[in-house]
Amino acid sequence: MPRQSRLCPPGIAVHIIQRGNNGEACFCSDSDRAVFLYLLKRYSLPHGVNLHAWVLMPNHVHLLVTPTTEDGVSKFVQALGRHYVRYFNRQHQRSGTLWEGRFKCCLVQSGSYLLHCYRYIEMNPVRAGLVSDPAQYLWSSYQFNALGRHPDLCSPHLDYLHLGPTAYARCVAYRALFKNPLNPLWEENLRRATNASLAFGSDRFKDELELRFNRRMRIMKPGRPRAKEKVAVE
């Protein structure tokens, strides 16, 4: 049976995870990370992908983007991964695959869910014990979203822009979001939705996506689903 295609419609934010093969490192130096960021910028714009948040972890990458075309995300991730693997293999005198299969992704509802995803991504280094504060980690979009650095690497989402009337005010308001811990239930829901290529948001958001695209957008409960939870198949 053919694999179901990625659902990344224009105008809806997408959380993406790309992992190193077998949990192996995909960055061995700051030079590797700098090259990856250069490629992020180089291939996001031509493919109509707006980059909002990102973090480069030792063996995986998180991205939060919004596509402007139907196939923008797939083409962007393919181009990014392909060119980075060429660089990485040449730089480290290796061959073969670097990434663990296809990237994982989920659709993210605007508003509090989207801002939660921002924070989830940029708190990764803290959860992993690499730093005690996200500001200490140089390889994430926290440097822009919270501190105003490297403005050429991010395209702010409208929800981020609504945080304040000026760049400084937005950074202050954004840092204030990190004073409260992430909701553990939302964290788990975001992980599960991403791994299963579903949706992260309210039930209404998922209902609208299921009706619009005729495919399941939520984690199924254990056991046989109720009739009202089924998605009609034409």
pLDDT of residue 3: 63
Residue 118 CA: distances (Å) to CA of 102, 104, 214, 219: 22, 17, 28, 22
The alpha carbon dihedral of 170, 176, 181, 185 has a sign of: negative
pLDDT of residue 220: 76
**pTM, two decimal places:** 0.91
| Residue 40 near residue 84 (C-beta atoms within 8 A) | no
Residue type at position 180: N
pLDDT tens digits in sequence order for the chain, 234 residues long: 456 678 999 999 999 999 999 999 999 999 999 999 999 999 999 999 999 999 999 999 999 999 999 999 999 999 999 999 999 999 999 998 999 988 999 999 999 999 999 999 999 999 999 999 999 999 999 999 999 997 788 999 999 999 999 999 999 999 999 999 999 999 999 999 999 999 999 999 999 999 999 999 998 776 555 544 443 333
Q: Return d(Cα 115, Cα 112) in angstroms, integer.
A: 5
pLDDT of residue 2: 52
In 99-202, which residue ranges form alpha helices assigned H by DSSP? 112-122, 124-127, 142-145, 158-161, 167-177, 184-195
Length of the chain: 234
- The DSSP letter of residue 67 is E
Residue 37 CA: distances (Å) to CA of 45, 55, 109, 138, 191: 13, 10, 26, 12, 24
Which of 224, 194, 226, 183 is CA-nearest to residue 107?
194
